[in-house]
Amino acid sequence: MRGTLLTAAVLLAVSTTATLSQQVPTVKEESPGLQAKAKVPPAQALQIALAKVPDGALQQAEIEQEDGKLVYSFDIKVPGKSGSEEVVVDAMTGKVLSVEHESPEEEAREAKPKS
């Protein structure tokens, strides 16, 4: 019985670790060095953002300066819904600053390089 419980615990730990490693997002930096300034790690910020958009899947993640704050911006796609939800999380506190729906047209405008 103990061997079975130990095996189950090890499998759960390995499974949890694999799941968490899949949740570490690749974060694009608006300018070099921003990620190093963040107090909230990207994986934690993503978990916070995904809690605001149930059933959503990460499309894109960025860290940037916005209105004087260092923030993560996550574009999250909800199956069956056009566009995406943009969740902005404060990179210093983990607080959700905004959740906004972006239409496909707004997404296209944002994707264009800034001149």
- CATH number of residue 51's parent domain: 3.10.450.40
Query: pTM, whole model, 2 decimals?
Result: 0.75
Residues 6+ apart with CB under 8 A from 99: 52, 53, 85, 86, 87, 88
Is 1 inside any structural domain?
no
Burial of 43 (0-12, 13-18, 19+ CB in 10 A): middle
Count of residues in the chain? 115
* CA 99 from centroid of its chain's CA atoms: 13
- What is the pLDDT confidence band of residue 14, given thresholds at 50, 70 and 90? very low
Is 3 inside any structural domain?
no
Nearest to 81 by CA among 45, 111, 47, 107: 107
- What is the pLDDT confidence band of residue 25, given thresholds at 50, 70 and 90? confident
